[in-house]
Structure formats: structure tokens, C-alpha cells
Structure 1
Amino acid sequence: MEAESAPGAQGGQPPHYISPSGTWRTKLCLRIASMVFLVLVAGLGGSIVSSSRVDVWYIRILVLLVPALVVTFGWDLAESLAIWFRAGRRGMHPGAVVAIDLLAWLGWVIVTFATVPISMNPEYYISDYNRDDTYNHRSRSSDVTAEDQKLADAVRAKGGALVSFSALLVITHFMLFVVACQETHKRNRPARVVYVMQPYYGAPPVMVPSAYQQPQSMPMQPPYQYYMQPASQAPAQPPAAHGAETKGGATRYA
């Protein structure tokens, strides 16, 4: 009976990359913090828009926050669930994380700068704030009623908080972007190492002498020499025949 493979693993193989405990916990905490900031931004924006005296032009700017809030919140929620349930705590594909978090923090930079004016000069965005000069929305302090001043202070405080949490969203998603870039590098690096070292798996160890070990000097032996025994230098004379007699330098046979 075959054993069941781990979730997210193919063919019973372990995940290609396992996110370290500190890394995936940091990512998860940043995602949760981002979702909290998004809820606060939505609440502050809705509170400002709910006032009937806020200028329509600025209401349109705050309405543009809705797509940014929905997309960012959905992305943070999806990535958080992927980190928690996916094998190896890997989260979404690293390329998608890098691209979306890059767009997220750049987009919230624009949103932050768009919401700065209401925190600095809320009087410009309150209808009928100046009874005498409704075109320039300017007034002397003596012409401002207590109700108008209270409304301006409330809008200024909410606008300042809105800008602050928008800036925190920029910082949060920039940090997530940096972490995603680092993890992308780590996830791609083992693939190259395994591919290069694959031919050496299971190979027998090879004994290689050290490069610094000097070979031992062996005494040189002279080559073997072969000596031939010299032949005896005897006078070459024909053997005398039996029964032959020599006389007068001639051989005579009996």
C-alpha cells in the first residue's frame, strides 16, 4: 500500500522550498497588520465622507480608495491563507508576490499623497465653511463659527490618521516586497545547485592525493646488466684421426 504524499508535494517528494519559521511568521504578521490598517483606513475614509458638508470633489478622491482597499485586502487574505495551509509555508508563487506587492506599495504611495491635503487644510474641503467667501473657502478666524471649527478639527484629525495608516501600508507592503525578493532568490538558487550536482549522486568516492604532499624519493636502481662468458681462445687444429701416421708433413693411412 503506497503512502500518501504530503500536501503540496508531488509523487511523495518534499516541497521544493520550505520557508524558515522566522520568515513565514514575519510575512504572516505583516499581512495581518496590513489588513488591520486597511480596515482603519476604510473606517476613517467613511467617517469623513459621511459628513454632509465635505466637498464633493474630495469625496470623489476618497471613493477612489475603494478599489485599492478591496484589491489589497483580498490579496493579503489570499496570501495569508496560502502561507498557513500550503506545504512548506511557501505562500503564493514568488513571482506573483513580488509583482503584486510592488504595485501595492507604489499604489499606496499615490493614495497617501492624495489624502495629505485634507489633513493639512480641511477648510478647503468643507462646504460653506466661509460664509463671506465661498469661492476661495477662506475666512478670518472671527468669521468661523464654533460648529465650523469643530468640524474642521475633526476632519483634520481623521485626515491625519488616514494619511498615517496609508503610510504604514506603504511601509508594510514595501517590507513584504523585499522579503519576497529574498525568498525568490533562495527558491531559485537550490534548483541550479541540484542540477549541476546531479551527475555526481551515487558516484563512488575517488581518492585524490593531496596537492601539497610531496612524493617520496625512491633510490634509483641501475638497470640490470647481462654479461656473456667469453669463449676459450684455443688454437683451431683439426683433430687427429685414429690410426693415422704423419710423416713428412703428409698424413698417411695404414
Structure 2
Amino acid sequence: MTAQPPQTIIPPPKYVSSPSAWRSKLVMRAWAILCCIIIAGVGGSIAALDGVEGDFMLFLGPSIAVPFIWSVAEAICIWKRPGNRGIHPGAVVGVDLIIWLGLGFVHLVMLATGLWFRPERLIEGYYYHNGVYRGYHDRDDFDKEELAKIDELSDKIQGRGRATLTFLAFLALTHFVLFVVACCETHKRNRMPKMVYVVQQPMYAPEGNGQQQYPLAQYPQQQYYAPQQQYYAPQQPIPMQSAVASPVSGANPVVQAPTGPARYA
């Protein structure tokens, strides 16, 4: 019995998105990257205005840095990995969930600061704190010249602030859609059949007379030997010994044994 060659175990194919699915994800990642760039540019232009407090950038900066880095990493994986497979769907579910929830929180905070309805609250000196009272000034507290400057600056802040909040909402919505897509892919991935490795016990050949047991894969091969013909030289005939009569009369003759080894005629 010959030993069988080892067989290569081929694992089941991994889940691969369809061409339309991975192209859609790539487009949404590119759109998310573009939104981050626009938000950073417009928000930075607001903070760069003279007389504007840039404290809101403490919330806005990290909220666009994390989605930007994550979207770039996911887009590279989709574009370069075999089968256009991105990062593991389970990781995408967790990260995109945190991102769109965080963006929603930042959006509410920026709305609360008045970036959409009360942009004058971002102007320096409009908020007061005298140790006892704190709050925002009324318009009656300023003269006409100061009110003109405040109104001009408020218009610039309001236009750019609304653009920032709009693209911030688009960014949160994009990551929410990517979160839903990742949940669907994770569900499909978990339903795929999994590969189970079973260790097969070695099978032994039946034990013969005085033979050692070998596994079937290691059982020694049986070899065939042709029967050898043996040649025997012809033997010389051995003469029979004659009987010698006993000197005693009437006795049976005694056969003298040869000196060499016994032979048969």
C-alpha cells in the first residue's frame, strides 16, 4: 500500500462585497473626506476673523480629525486590499457608531453656542463675567458705531457658521449610512459557513506474523523479488561396501561402515 500525498486544505472564501457595494463605500468615504476638508477650511476662516473667539474650534477640531483619518484608512484598504475588502466590518461598526454619535453631539453644542441663530455670541467682549454676574450683553449696551461693527461681523460669522453646520450634518449622516452598511455586512459575514478542522486519527494496517504495525500513510511498500533458481552440482556415486564374513562360523555377516560420512546410494 503506497502512502498518499498530503492534501491541501482550502479554506472557504471570505466575504467579499459586490462591485457596486465597494464602489458605493469608496464614494461615501471620499465624500466624508471632502466634508472634513470643507468644515476645517470654513471653521478655520471663522476663527481667523478679527474680534472672534475661537473656543468653538476646541470642539470642532477633534470632531473632524478623527473622521478624516478613519475615512482615509478605510478608503486605502478598499482600494488596495485583494477583493476590494476594507477594514473588518466589526471594527467599522464600532468606529462609525462613535463618530456619528460624536458628530451629533458637537452639532448640538455648536447650535447651543449660537453659531446658527446668535452669531454675535462668538464676538469678543459680547460675553461678560464681572465676578458676580455672567452673561451676554444686550444690544442696548452698545452705541451705533459698535452695533454696526457687530452686525457686520455677525453676518460673516453666520454665513460661514451655517455652512459649517450643514457640512457637519452631512458628515454625520454619511457615517451613519456607513454604520448601517457595516452592520449588514457583519450580519452576512456571521451567517457564512465556518471552517472546522478535524484531526483524523491514524489508521493502522492489520498486524501480520511478526510484522510491526504501521499507519496506512507510513506502511512500507511491498517489494517483489523474482524466485532465484538454485544450481546443485551432481554428486559422485558412492560404492556400496561389501559384507565381510565373520571369522566365527555361523554368525551373521558384519557390514563394515565406511570411514567417511554416511551416504545413501
Give TM-score scaled by structure 2 length: 0.61
Are 2:143 and 1:126 equivalent residues in the alignment?
Answer: no
User: For 1:170-181, what aligned pairs fall within 5 Å after superposition?
Assistant: 170-181=172-183
- How far apart are 1:88 and its partner, in Å? 1.7
Instruction: Give the partner amino acid of 2:29.
Output: R
Q: What is aligned with 1:191?
A: 193
Residue 78 (structure 2) aligned to one of 73, 80, 83: 83
Q: Quick check: 1:164 aligned with 2:159?
A: no
Could you say which residue in structure 2 is the equivalent of 1:138? 138
| Match in the other structure for 1:241 | none
| Paired position in structure 1 for 2:96 | 101
2:17 maps to which of 19, 22, 44: 19
| Contact 1:115/1:159 (8 A) holds in 2 | no
> Using a 3 Å threshold, how does the CA distance of structure 1 residues 129 and 161 change in structure 2: closer, same or farther?
same
Deviates more, 1:118-127 or 1:137-146: 137-146
Per the TM alignment, residue 44 of structure 1 is displaced from its structure 2 partner at its CA by 1.3
Distance, in Å, in 2 between the alignment partners of 1:81 and 1:14 is: 25
What SS does the aligned partner of 2:49 have?
Answer: coil
Instruction: Give the whole-Å Cα distance in 1 for the aligned partners of 2:135 and 2:91.
Output: 48
CA contact (8 A) 2:92 2:182 kept: yes
1:51 aligns with one of 49, 52, 59? 49
Question: Which stretch of structure 1 is more off in the superposition, 137-146 or 84-93?
Answer: 137-146
Identity %: 39
Tell me, what secondary structure is at the counterpart of 2:136?
coil
Aligned residues of 2:42 and 2:160 also touching (Cα < 8 A): yes
Q: Distance in 1 between matches of 2:159 and 2:143?
A: 22
C-alpha separation between the residues in 1 aligned to 2:121 and 2:56?
14
Q: Which residue of 2 aligns with 1:40?
A: 38
3-state SS of paired residue (1:176)? helix
Q: For the Cα contact (< 8 Å) 1:80–1:91, is it kept in 2?
A: yes
- Structure 1's 191 and 13: CA in aligned 2 closer, same or farther, altered over 3 A? closer
Counterpart pick for 1:60 among 50, 55, 59 = 55
CA distance in 2, matches of 1:128, 1:37: 32
Rounded to whole Å, the distance in 1 between the matches of 2:70 and 2:78 is 12
1:73 aligns with 2:88: no
Which amino acid in structure 1 is aligned with residue 61 of structure 2? V
Q: Is the 8 A contact 2:90 2:186 kept in 1?
A: yes
Q: Return the offset for 1:186.
A: 1.2
Q: CA deviation at 1:113?
A: 0.9
Query: CA–CA distance in 1 between the matches of 2:27 and 2:12?
Result: 26
Contact 1:115 1:162 in 2 (8 A): no
Aligned partner of residue 53 in structure 1, secondary structure:
coil
Whole-Å separation in 2 of the counterparts to 1:79 and 1:14: 24
Normalising by structure 1, report the TM-score: 0.64
